A and B are shown apart, each in its own frame.
Chain A
Amino acid sequence: NAGVTQTPKFQVLKTGQSMTLQCAQDMNHNSMYWYRQDPGMGLRLIYYSASEGTTDKGEVPNGYNVSRLNKREFSLRLESAAPSQTSVYFCASRPGLEANEQFFGPGTRLTVL
């Protein structure tokens, strides 16, 4: 099992450009999450998907959209990138809402100039 995979690992964008961060898990988990981590801080929830076909906003959703393409894949899209979106983005999955532990991907380091 690869666990949770994220692509790309690194990305540099100019202000106003768009991009999609990809996340996939091969553990047959129902719930998936997108977090961002800014320097010296913990993770903040952007969006989550409790199950295939559902998505909901987290703590900091502005400027982002998500798609739960199928049970395996959960993508995060920046339509018009801003310097404030410079961060490390982590995808995570969880077997279901009643399960406890979350499994994290390795992260995508995004810089917006």
Chain B
Amino acid sequence: SQQGEEDPQALSIQEGENATMNCSYKTSINNLQWYRQNSGRGLVHLILIRSNEREKHSGRLRVTLDTSKKSSSLLITASRAADTASYFCATDGMTGRRALTFGSGTRLQVQP
């Protein structure tokens, strides 16, 4: 079963607006990562937040983590048409294999 559940499943906004995606997970984690997937392509790493961090920024991306609620959010500010993609959260658990467990993703459509 998948660790994360993402909300919303799909999001459509206009260029220039902000996009917020949420992720919930079930077990303790070392860190949580966000990945982007353009249609028909592989995943690309965007940002990582460690379990002892609450907020992190990278360019137009802002990630928050609330370990007490087992949830995270990804905010993309001033969105562009090129941001159209699927976004996945992935948790890096505390088991030895350190494999990522992915959520089901949010499909973001940014209208020009």
Residues of A bordering B, CB below 8 Å: 4, 31, 33, 35, 40-45, 48, 50, 56, 58-59, 90, 92, 94, 97-98, 100-107
Contacts and interface: CB of A to CB of B under 8 A. Distances in A.
Interface of B: 1-2, 4, 9, 31, 33, 40-45, 48, 88, 90, 92, 96-105
10 contacts: A4-B42, A35-B102, A42-B103, A43-B100, A43-B102, A58-B99, A90-B42, A97-B96, A101-B45, A106-B41
Contact of A42 (B2, B45, B92, B98): B2
A86 B105 CA distance: 20
Nearest to B98: A97
Given A44-B102, A50-B97, A100 B42 contact: no
Contact of A104 (B2, B40, B42, B104): B42
A107 B98 contact: no
B99 A101 contact: no
A61 to B, nearest CB: 12
